[in-house]
């Protein structure tokens, strides 16, 4: 915002929730969310019991690629449409999309009854290995042991990977540990982290058939 006047953003494209993955599912495991600020306008929809169907439009090419991996490997159907102040940089768009996706996941989880709760993944891509472990605990926390060797991947700021993970952890209410053990290039480091997050999420939000009617905590609540 400059000169004290908010910039008007064109509305994100209407979310298409008519595909097979968005029909006939448990409504308690789906969520739609709109988030509008002076910096971004975002619409998100998720279906935790999906097949990895996705519609991603953020205006940030590399970030779209990462969200595509997140949906595909978590099997969470995901629609994300964002308009942001990209004339400044990508920061607000990436962070606010993370906030919106995190809030939508938390909403879709409901009382968390029956979920596996924990998930982890060691993921390799050629000469790169990254690990993500998480607990859908209701306690937001991020441990980040990742270093990039370049400030950018193309035009994308590598520091925004952490911003996205932090936004997800805080707004989904999960304890999230992410670590890169080694990497042959920064693209693979980022992509391996997103894929590992996706696989860990897939495990954690799956319904445990042996305890489908129970909250996975001795406290009885998460």
Closest listed residue to residue 135, CA positions, set 179, 110, 108, 172: 172
Domains of the chain from N-terminus onward: 20-205 (3.30.230.40)
Instruction: Pull the structure tokens for residue 161.
Output: 């990977």
Those residues of the chain that have pLDDT short of 50 are 1-25
Q: Please answer whether residues 165 and 193 qualify as being in contact, where contact means their C-beta atoms are separated by less than 8 angstroms.
A: yes
pLDDT for 168: 98
pLDDT for 1: 39
Instruction: Kindly provide the b/e burial profile for residues 110-136, where b requires at least 16 CB atoms within 10 angstroms of the residue's own CB.
Output: eebbbbebebebebebeebbbbbbbbb
Q: What is the pTM of this model?
A: 0.89
User: Which tens digits make up the pLDDT trace of 137-193?
Assistant: 999 999 999 999 999 999 999 999 999 999 999 999 999 999 999 999 999 999 999
pLDDT for 28: 76
Closest listed residue to residue 35, CA positions, set 25, 23, 43: 43
Which CA distances in Å does 73 have to 77, 90, 190, 197, 212?
10, 24, 15, 9, 23
Bridge partners, residue 78, by sequence: 46, 54
pLDDT for 183: 97
pLDDT for 16: 44
pLDDT for 122: 98
Q: How far apart are CA 165 and CA 160, in angstroms?
A: 9
Closest listed residue to residue 195, CA positions, set 54, 74, 48, 79: 74
């Amino acid at each position: 915002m400059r000169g004290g006047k908010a910039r008007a953003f064109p509305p994100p494209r209407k979310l298409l929730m008519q595909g097979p993955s968005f029909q006939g599912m448990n409504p308690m495991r789906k969520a739609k969310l709109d988030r509008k600020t002076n910096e971004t306008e975002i619409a998100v929809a998720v279906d935790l019991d999906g097949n990895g169907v996705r519609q991603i439009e953020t205006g940030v090419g590399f970030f779209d690629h990462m969200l595509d991996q997140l949906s595909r490997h978590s099997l969470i159907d995901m629609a994300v449409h964002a308009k942001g102040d990209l004339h400044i940089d990508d920061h607000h768009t990436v962070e606010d999309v993370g906030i919106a996706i995190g809030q939508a996941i938390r909403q879709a989880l409901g009382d968390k009854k029956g979920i596996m709760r924990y998930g982890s993944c060691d993921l390799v891509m050629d000469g790169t290995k990254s690990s993500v472990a998480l607990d859908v605990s209701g306690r937001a926390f991020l441990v980040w042991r990742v270093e990039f060797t370049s400030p950018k991947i193309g035009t994308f700021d590598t520091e925004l990977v952490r911003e996205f993970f932090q936004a997800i952890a805080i707004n989904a209410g999960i304890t999230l540990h992410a670590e890169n053990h080694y990497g042959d290039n920064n693209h693979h480091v980022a992509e391996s982290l997103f894929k590992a997050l996706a696989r860990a999420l897939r495990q954690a939000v799956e319904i445990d058939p042996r305890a489908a009617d129970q909250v996975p905590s001795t406290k009885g609540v998460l």
